[in-house]
Chain A
Amino acid sequence: MLQIDNLTIHEIHDKLQRDEFSATALVKDSLERIEKLDPKIRAFITITEDEALDEARRVDSKIAKKIELKTLEGIPYSAKDVFCTKGIRTTAGSKILENFVPPYDATVIKRMKEAGAILVGKVNCDPFGFGSSTENSGFFTTLNPYDLKRVPGGSSGGSAAAVACGMGLFSIAEDTGGSIRQPSSFCNVSGIKVTYGRVSRFGSIAYGSSLDTVGHIGRSVEDIALILEETAGVDTNDATTVPVDVSSYTERMKESIGSIQIGIPKEYFPKGGIDKEVEATVREAAKTFDEMGCHIEEISLPHTEYAIAAYYLTAISEVSANLSRYDGIRFGYRTKEAKDLKGLYEKTRAEGFEDEVKRRIMLGTYALSAGYYDAYYKKAMQVRTILKREFEEAFKRVDVILAPVAPTPAFKVGEHLNDPLAMWLEDAFTVTLNPTGCPGLAIPAGFSKSGLPIGMQIIGPQFSEDLLFRLGYHFQNATDYHEQRPEIVKQISSS
């Protein structure tokens, strides 16, 4: 194996350019890790070995001719299987799209191609992003590289597990209610949930359209800041992308963090509602920031306890509309036995959708049905206004908010399987950002006594990604949690 576990993408780029190893060797390193580790971890739904090696040879011919490479050129990555990849199967983690081969690339995939990054495969997730553990996937459950009896988190569990194992150096992922941050926290990697509209959603298979955000998971803040520089910005194919300038994140993150005001919301540390080690770890991280010159103060976000209900009502309502497209006619699975059109729809969707997908569509259908709209959807949208105002008020007092990502470290496979509501409640600390549009950065903050990763999130006002990266970058300069690797990775890295 290449000795690249603790190198940044920038450092790897320099080595490629200096011909210390080839792009082919770099891509083969990721593929070899997939071959050795993925039979246990099960992060990949599709591996794009041939295409990746072809791309690597193209980069190598540039290196041989001493042509200057772009920073991401030749860098292997994975993409959550919700992003359309032209000519490469894209399942969204659901059986209903088991054989779907998109005729076009998502904008984010197109931008990665233009930057020269090399896709090594498509990774597992809960179907359409519906879940917090990958256990809802129509294919298989991905396991946590730090403990194979536990989940990697979700819905982007395949992305986080892959990055933790070096199976690709970063992953393009998606966050609708915590789907990037919670798996990042469970797998000791860094993940950015961007401001709504910061990155184009074109070609990202829809979950909840007013909540969906495309973001990134990587091994360090520096790496994901670099990726976001490539992916952020206006796209004419997504009218919700916002014309706000894209910062030079990797330059601005180096600016001083002295005098930054950090708020600690007391509602994110509910008595009996958070694991003691998680609480202690996040408070310790606050102390680290304090020592670096930041000001820490307790704040209050009193409506936090209503975020889950408001978030899920919004999400499921949008789900019921978005998923009506799976009709068995234009693309996707079709039942073999239907006599009439209604039967064709009903059986196709019954056979193609996983239980959690059916639950969410039905709940959304119920919430939007005649007589219930005001009581549910409208109410949720009003609470959304309250949540948004509450954040806006908080950001008048403090620059950012520091909070835990999840109430516990990674839970065991099967722990919540028969209780879908308990699974939803896992998202208590992540769901507030999507209804409010705020960005959040999840980064490693420590480990439990039993060796499980614990993450924290830094939350900022809309379009403050540069500020979040700055805090994350300085924290990672002062600590080495993000450089720790799971035991199974260390075993093969030394071989």
Chain B
Amino acid sequence: MSKNTITEKDVLHIASLARIKLSREEVKKFQKQLCDIVSYFNKLNEVDTKGIEPTSQVTGLVNKFRKDEARDFLTQENALKNAPDKTGGYFKTRAALS
């Protein structure tokens, strides 16, 4: 991965995957900053990790279950309170298919 550099085209692709619209100036700025940071990440190549198990949970807890019981939490009205747009008890958005 040491040869990886991030081009402006890559930045646009990543931004599209992340659903963030970038201006032309932003693409330029982020291209340099992202390159700097990704090359810093390559420092990890110095560490021999052959055969090392990855850790994602540090306290060793595994699947904790609770009873599947209905609880009062949010009313529909409260759940919709922060919605920028709503109609008839639903969130309202743009059409996903045209």
Contacts and interface: CB of A to CB of B under 8 A. Distances in A.
Interface stretch (A156-164, A355-363, A397-405): A355-363
A344 B81 contact: no
Interface string B45-65: 011010011111111010010
B36 to A, nearest CB: 5
Nearest to B51: A382
B82 A309 contact: no
B20 interface: yes
Interface residues of A, number: 73
Nearest to A329: B93
Interface in A360-411: 361-363, 365-367, 369, 372, 375-376, 378-386, 388
A369 B38 CA distance: 14
A210 interface: yes
Nearest to A100: B82
A421 B39 CA distance: 11
B47 A386 contact: yes
Nearest to B18: A365
Contacts of A358: 15, 20, 22, 26, 30
> Would you call the interface of chain A mostly helix, strand, loop, or mixed?
helix
Interface in B1-52: 1, 6, 10-11, 14-22, 26, 30, 33-34, 36-38, 40-41, 43-44, 46-47, 49, 52
A479 B83 CA distance: 52
A210 B96 CA distance: 33
A372 B30 CA distance: 19
A341 B74 contact: no
A359 B20 contact: no
Nearest to A425: B40
A462 B93 contact: no
Interface in A268-320: 303, 305-306, 308-310, 312-313, 320
25 contacts: A100-B82, A104-B73, A210-B57, A242-B61, A329-B85, A329-B93, A330-B91, A331-B83, A342-B19, A344-B94, A358-B20, A359-B33, A361-B18, A363-B34, A365-B17, A366-B10, A366-B38, A369-B17, A375-B1, A381-B54, A384-B55, A385-B53, A386-B47, A386-B49, A420-B33
Interface of A: 99-101, 103-104, 195-197, 210, 236, 239-240, 242, 303, 305-306, 308-310, 312-313, 320, 324, 327-334, 338-347, 349-350, 353, 358-359, 361-363, 365-367, 369, 372, 375-376, 378-386, 388, 420-421, 424, 435-437, 462
